[in-house]
Amino acid sequence: MSPRSQEQQMVPDAGFRSYYGRPVLKEPAWKSPDVPAYLFFGGLAGASSALAVGAHRSGYSELARVARITAGGAISVSAAALINDLGRPARFLNMLRVFKVTSPMSMGSWLLAAYGPLAGASAVSAVTGKLPRAGRAAAAAAGAMGPAVATYTAALVCSTAVPAWHDAHREMPYKFAGSAAAAAAGIGLLALPPDRAVPAARLAIAGAVAEQTAERLLERRLGAVAEPYRSGKPGELMLAARVLSLTGVAATAAARGRNRVLSAVAGATLVAGSAVSRAGIYEAGRASARDPKYTIAPQHTRAAARAWPPRAGDTPADDDGW
Amino acid sequence: MTDRMGFFTDTSLCIGCKACEVACKTWNEVPEDGIELSGMSYDNTVGLGASTWRHVAFIEQPAPSARVQIPAVTPARAAAPAQAPAQAAAPAQAAADSMRWLMSSDVCKHCTEAACLDVCPTGALMRTEFGTVVVQDDICNGCGYCVAACPFGVIERRETDGGAYKCTLCYDRLGDGLTPACAKACPTESIQFGPLDELRERARGRVTELQQAGETKARLYLDDPEDGIGGGGAFFLLLDEPEVYGLPPDPVVTTRDLPRMWKHVALAAIGLAGAVLAATRRSRP
């Protein structure tokens, strides 16, 4: 131990000072699996709607149909998970009392209010074959909103005081976009023979690679604050997600658009990888709020660097064990 | 709009009596939330939360080498409150020459740039005519966004009814021209209530006084309108670094980064749309 002020005795074996090791922040009240499910199914829905439009344009009508049905189903589950997570679910509609750009949840609620019914109508039309033109119009409108539906949740989790979420705000939208694309493509690969889901195979690889790249950049830039993404329960989830995701990429490539079994395995692992990574991000955020060091140490370093020379007796910036 | 009202909590005057905690609970009818012993000195309240809107922290630490007598508040005030800390310390002086007690009554900061208010999707959190931040319980749907957004861990969802709760700075009392319950009950004027401008001026004088008396680590916390939350409507005079009291050393409202977040969200959405279009390019003859 370096010679520090005697006050260090209060928090033994910690490289920073705190109040009895208590967290500074409240752990998010958001529950699991509600919130990971809200993120995963929202991403799946948004990317599926976009995929449906693209697939329809290029003549992959079965893939378009699968994507439309997926989007309608997934957004229903996502909305249900969100409502179930509220402390007072009966007041869900209070979300539409105000329109606030400072609140990603407000913006998201308005987006879902517009997108949800369109994605639902598009799915119902795809399943029943009724009102095909109206269904296609709804699918096109939902497809235009899909990318925003898949990515706004990144701003939602990052616009918090939770260190592992907030500090990741630069990379998280790209990670969410990639994760959503991989999941939507994965459903296509699961549902259809590979020769009828060629665009899904391409999107699967692009999405998974984008997600993993964003994750690497995030971990490198955040340094010590990224620790929760690598250790403990969230670390295990993130590792599992990475293995699933990369297995999906490998299987997609190996299937070469011909092997039905390999292609389906690829689809399943990609979907699972996306879902598990949402759980990992959720748990990493909670862990970073629970441990005061992720709140105190970076802030202390920042404050001490600003207040140079340090006040007599203060812990210097380079002595906070960071 | 009336003057912006706030709290100045001068922790150098706190004697740890917890009258503020009791007065707050009583006036606001805040429910009981646990009576366990924490093992954290005299602090069994542990922290702010849905049902704890004032919390007195107790820190036992080695005393600075030269023992400092905390000076009286202001010449204008009677000596009585100022005597209190000195008297409290006196009997134990011989035995505990090498240790000191820091006590501090924590509360919602009523930030100028309040993250809870910014992220609230229902408009349940609002800014009052006194510049304070309150939750309108009949609107809150318990989404919990404010809980994750608060950089101080103040606001919390109450599990019994699912709503978010925190200090109201006694909005009901302010409307009637009364002092908030905690400040009213404080016997040493450690908790001072008034127009924020006046409090800030008084606090600057007080911290200079303490530093001149040898309390070199005395500092104001959240008094600066240029800080990461635009200054607190409730601010503090501390005798050590903020983290020692369980306070974040350099809190920044998350909303400051939101424009950048929206920019990245937009770019990611465009990227996703582009990737889908590229992937679905017709490849069959």
Query: What would the pLDDT profile of A35-58 be if each residue is shown by its tens digit?
Result: 999 999 999 999 999 999 999 999
B285: pLDDT confidence band, cut at 50, 70 and 90? very low
Identify the three-state secondary structure at position B60: strand
pLDDT in the model for residue A164: 98
**In sequence order, what are the residues at sequence separation of 6 or more whose Cβ sits closer than 8 angstroms to the Cβ of residue A133?**
none
Q: Do B163 and A87 touch (CB under 8 A)?
A: yes
- Give the whole-angstrom CA distance, residue B279 versus residue B31: 57
Q: Do A6 and B61 touch (CB under 8 A)?
A: yes
Q: Do A105 and B121 touch (CB under 8 A)?
A: yes
ipTM metric: 0.93
Q: Do A98 and B268 touch (CB under 8 A)?
A: no
Distance from CA of B13 to the nearest CA of A (A): 20
Residues of chain B contacting residue A147, judged by C-beta atoms under 8 Å apart: 268-270, 272-273, 276
Contact status, residue A209 vs residue A217, Cβ threshold 8 Å: no
Q: Do A292 and B281 touch (CB under 8 A)?
A: no
- Taking every pair of Cα atoms in chain B, the longest distance, rounded to a whole number of angstroms, is 95
Q: Do A22 and B250 touch (CB under 8 A)?
A: no
Mutate to test the interface with A, among B125, B217, B276 (most CBs of A within 10 A): B276
Query: What would the pLDDT profile of B94-152 be if each residue is shown by its tens digit?
Result: 445 689 999 999 999 999 999 999 999 999 999 999 999 999 999 999 999 999 999 99
Looking at chain B, the whole-number percentage of residues with pLDDT higher than 90 is 83
What is the pTM (predicted TM-score) of this model?
Answer: 0.91
Query: Is pLDDT at A9 greater than 60 in this prediction?
Result: no
- Joined tokens for residue B214: 């040898």
Query: Which residue of B217, B244, B251 is in closest CB contact with A19?
Result: B244
Query: What would the pLDDT profile of B204-253 be if each residue is shown by its tens digit?
Result: 999 999 999 999 999 999 999 999 999 999 999 999 999 999 999 999 99
Residue ranges of alpha helices (H) inside A223-318 are: 232-255, 260-290, 292-306
pLDDT in the model for residue A304: 87
A256 in reach of chain B (CB within 8 A) = no
Query: Is pLDDT at B283 greater than 80 in this prediction?
Result: no
Provide, for chain A, the percentages of residues in helix, strand and coil under a 3-state DSSP scheme, each rounded to the nearest 5. 75, 0, 25
pLDDT in the model for residue A306: 83
pLDDT in the model for residue B125: 98
Looking at chain A, the whole-number percentage of residues with pLDDT higher than 70 is 91
Residues of chain A contacting residue B263, judged by C-beta atoms under 8 Å apart: none
Q: Do B247 and A87 touch (CB under 8 A)?
A: no
